[in-house]
Every structure is written in C-alpha cells, then in structure tokens.
Amino acid sequence: MNLLDKVAANKAALSVAERRVARLVLDDPRGFSTLPVTVLAEKAAVSKPTVVRFCRSLGYEGLTDFKLKLAGSLNQGVPFIHTAVNEQDSTQLMIVKIIDNVVSALLQYRNEASSSSFQQAIDALYETTRSGGRVEFYGVGNSGFVAQDAQHKFFRLGGNTVAFSDGHVQIMAATMLGSKDCAVIISNSGRSRDLLDATEIAGKTGATTIVITASGSPLAGLGHILLAADHPEGYDRYSPMISRLLHLSIIDILTTGVALKIGPTLRPMLENIKKNLKNKRYSDA
C-alpha cells in the first residue's frame, strides 16, 4: 500500500475536517507536497492545526514528515507492484521479477517508515547498551537467521547481546529480563505462538519490547515499540525473500542509529576489530 492508498483507505476514520484535507491530497498530491501549510489550510477550508492533525492521524510526525514521504512516493522510479514468479518464467524474467519486487518493496518502505518509531527504538537500544543491560533478539525459522544477523551487528557496539531461535529458550530468556533490558522480536507473519508468548513475558518483566513485524498482526499489538514491516509478499511463502531483506534493512538502520548515538568513542574499538581480523585473511599477493 503506497501513501495515497493509505490516505484513501483511512479516509473514513478521519474527522470531517481532516477528510477535507485528505480530499486535497488525493485530488492534487503534487501540489500538496509543495504548498505551505497556510495555503493548504485555505484550499481545504480548515485551520492550520487541522492539517497537522491529519498528518499525525495517519501516523506521521507532522506536515513536514508527511510531505517528505508524499514527495518520495510520487518521485520514486520503480512502481510499487509485486509480480509473482511462476513456472513458465524464463530465467531472465525470473531475475527481473525478483529484483524489481525487492527494489519496489524497499522504496515503498522508505516512504512509509515511521521515523518516530525508529527513534524510540534507537533510544531504547542505546540506553540499554549504555547501562550494560541485555539486548536479546528473538526469531524463529527465517526470522531466526535475521535475529542472528542482528546479534552479529550489535555485539560489535560493545553491548551485551544474544540471539535465540528456539521457542523454549526464548521463554526462559524472556523470563530473566529486567527493566534495563531490551527484547527485539522479529516475525514476518506476527502470528508465531512462541514469539507471542516470549513478547508477553518480556513485557511483564519490565523490559522494553521492540517488534519488527506486519502491522495489524497479533504481535504488532503486544510490543512497546512497533517497527511495522509491511510488504506484498505472503508470509506463507516457502522461501521468503522480500521480508528477509526488509527485516535486514531495518536491523541495519537500528545498528547505525545506535552507533551514531554512541559517537566517536566507538571508532577505536571497531578499528581494533578490523586490525585483528586482518590476520584471518589471505593477502592480495
């Protein structure tokens, strides 16, 4: 669902005044993305605060955030279309479909991602790392490999991190968390019983729970912070592709955000890691 589809889908849930703003967006999206709030309010026959409330009602930080995502949605070069691969496709067509699907999904996520939710998650992970708390990553199946990748990235930031992909171990680990800890739960479907149970338990211990999953799923409503990862790929695919790459990108954003908050003090340690790893590589000679 792109931004304009989102406006249309949520229009009925808006107030009467906010619906007038929604109509303005749908009637002239390019004009809306360039006009100042005063002009937008006049065109929609509403107050300036109503324009801002409309943006926030749709999950954006404000008018600037909404206009930035709207402009990106209008100017992106790849259409947000998911094309299924089938048995009749040639190898060349299969390559094109898979890559186009991935690029399209990533561009759509770029335009729809909630920067405020990411900031909350980055702040929570930074505080946990700074205070010496535990950052635990939970995932099962394909998401279990994403959890392992997250742990591999985060432990280099100097924190106390671990990844669990076994449901029983996740329950035990979640039970031992405390108020200074973070649990990051990764699930494409958001319906895994093990992960739902672990998230609920971790929340009861006082730990901050960050869930990376589909919006509207059971898991999405359990976490303290939701990083919604919506895409057109069905969660029942035999070999998920788009979801895995999208989740890995989210982990990269979180890792980079925390690293930037730690600041220059992190650089010497990363340089030492790179220096010590040189002995494990063959030389170019």
Cα gap 48→29, rounded to integer Å: 18
- The pLDDT of residue 130 is 92
CB 94 within 8 Å of CB 230: no
Mean pLDDT by 10 residues, the chain (285 residues): 81 92 90 90 94 91 86 61 72 82 81 87 96 96 93 92 96 97 95 95 97 92 92 58 88 95 87 82 68
Residue with tokens 């992190």: 266
Cα gap 277→156, rounded to integer Å: 13
From residue 27, how far is each of 8, 20, 111, 143, 192 by CA, in Å? 11, 11, 20, 40, 41
pLDDT tens column, 162-211? 999 999 999 999 999 999 999 999 999 899 999 999 999 999 999 999 99
- The pLDDT of residue 81 is 52
What angle is formed at CA 282 by the lines to CA 279 and CA 285, rounded to 5 degrees? 120
CB 180 within 8 Å of CB 128: yes
User: Residue 117 — φ and ψ, nearest 5°?
Assistant: -65, -40
- The pLDDT of residue 172 is 97
CB 256 within 8 Å of CB 122: no
pTM: 0.70
Residue 198, SS3 per DSSP: helix
- The pLDDT of residue 240 is 62
- The pLDDT of residue 200 is 97
Cα gap 156→91, rounded to integer Å: 39
In 144-271, DSSP assigns E strands to 160-164, 182-186, 208-213, 225-228
Sequence-distant (6+) residues with CB within 8 A of 217 are 187, 189, 190, 191
Sequence-distant (6+) residues with CB within 8 A of 278 are none
Q: What residues does 134 pair with on adjacent strands? A: 160
Cα gap 97→265, rounded to integer Å: 44
| Structural element, H or E, at residue 135 | strand 134-138
- The pLDDT of residue 33 is 85
Q: What helix, strand, coil percent values describe the chain, rounded to 5?
A: 60, 10, 30
